[in-house]
Amino acid sequence: MSRELTYLLLIFALLVIPRALQRFRVPAPITCLLFGLVAMLWLGDRTHDPVVVLLSTLGISSLFLFAGLEVDLHALRRGLWPLAAHLALRVGTLVLLGWLAWRYAGLGWQAAGLLALALLTPSTGFILDTLERLGLDEEERFWVTSKAIAGELLALAALFVVLQAGDPVQLGMSSLAMVGLLVGLPLLYMAFGRWIVPHAPGSEFSLLVMVGVVAAYITYALGVYYLVGAFIAGLVARLLRDRMPRMASDENIRALRLFATFFVPFYFFHAGTQIARDALSLEALGLGLLLTAVVVPVRVGMVWLQRRVLFRREHQRSTFRVAVALTPTLVFTLVLAEILYSRFGLSGTWAGALVLYTTLNTLLPSLLLRVPFDLAQVSTGDLPALPAPQPVPLENPPAIPTQGA
C-alpha cells in the first residue's frame, strides 16, 4: 500500500469513524486514542511517523491556542470570589495529593506534583468543545467554562514551576525566557497589525495560528511542552482584542475551533501510539479502576459541596451537572503521563493506570449529561415562517350548474 493511500485512510478513520461512534456516547478523542493503541500493538515502532507527529503538534497547539482565546477576564471577574475559593481548594487538594504520592507511592517530589496535576486538572479545551452536547443552560455553561479556565491557568503555572524547579539555574533562565515571551508576543501581534494585516486582509487567522505554533515550540524547547506556549499566545491575543479586534474576533475563534477539530484527532492517535506495552497489564487495569473509583467521586463531591455552600439557592441538579461537566482530564493527563514515563521514570503500571483513569472520567459526562437530539424538541420559532396557502384562481372556472339546469 502506498504512503499516500495510507495517509488518506488514516485521515478518513480519524475524522469520520469517531464522529459516527459519538451516537453511542463515546467521545471522538477516546476512539482516536484507541485507534492509536491498536496501531501500536499491530505495527510497533512503524507508527511513529514524522507526518503524524507534525499533525499531532498542530492539534495540541491549536487546541490550547483556542483555550487561551476563550479566556474572558471580564467574565472571570464576575465570579471572582467563587473562583478564588475554587482555586484555593484546588491548591489545597494538589498539595495534599502530591504529598500522598511522595509519601506513599515512592515518587520524587516533582513526579508527585505532576501526578497530582494529572489526576486533578480538567481538560479545558476538550470541555469547551463538548459543552454544546451536554445540554447545560447558560448559567451552568458560564461556571463550567470559568472554573475550567481558572483551573487550567493554575495548572499551567504549576506545571512550569514543577518541571523547572529541579535546577534553580534552569528555572531562572526559563523564567526570563517566559518573561521575554510575554513581552514579545504583544509586540509581534501589534507589528503584524500595523505592517501586514492592512495590506493582506483576511490574514489574521493564519498569523494567529503561526504565532501559536511558534510560541508552542519555544516553550517545548524550554522543557515545559507545547501547550503552555500555545495557551499564552491565545491569551495575549485575547487581551489585545480592544486594540486589534480582528485578530481575536469571534470569526477567528470559530475558525480556530474548526481548525483544531481537524488536527486534534491526530494528537490523540499519536498519544495512543505512545502508550508503552508494559502499560497494558492487569496491575495497570486494577490501579486505574482504583484511581477512578476514589479520585473521581472526590473531585465531583468537592465541586458539589463548594457550590452548595456558596450558591445555596442553586438547584441540586444544576450543581451536580456543573460538577460532572468538570470531570474530564483527558489532554492534561495524557501529556503528563507521557512526561512522567519518559522523563521521570514512572512505571508502565502507573502510566497505563493514568490512561485508563482519564478514559473513564472523560466518558462520564457523555454518559450522564448528554441530551439526545430529538426532532420533536426543535422549536418552530427557530424556523422561518411559511406563508399561509392562498387559493389559486382558475383561468376558466367551471360553470356551476343551477338547480333548474
Distance, in Å, from the CA atom of 35 to the CA atom of 43, rounded to the nearest integer, reads 12
Cβ–Cβ under 8 Å, residues 165 and 111 = no
Task: Show the cell assigned to 15.
Answer: 475524522
Cβ–Cβ under 8 Å, residues 273 and 334 = no
370 falls in which pLDDT band (50, 70, 90)? low
- Cβ count within 10 A of residue 381: 6
If one compares 265 and 376, the residue with the highest pLDDT of the two is 265
pLDDT tens digits for range 275-330: 988 899 999 999 999 999 999 999 999 999 999 888 888 888 889 999 999 999 99
Task: Give helix then strand counts, H and E, for the chain.
Answer: 17, 0
- Among 1-10, 333-342, 347-356, the minimum mean pLDDT is found in 1-10
Query: 228-257: b or e for each residue (b if 16 or more CB lie within 10 Å)?
Result: bbbbbbbbbbbbbeeebebbbbeebbebbb
Which whole number is the average pLDDT over 133-159? 90
> Maximum Cα–Cα distance for the chain, whole Å?
114
pLDDT tens digits for range 177-222: 999 999 999 999 999 988 998 888 888 999 999 999 999 999 998 8
Distance between alpha carbon 198 and the CA centroid of its chain, in Å? 33
Element of type H or E holding 158:
helix 138-164
- Among 123-127, 245-249, 303-307, 372-376, the minimum mean pLDDT is found in 372-376
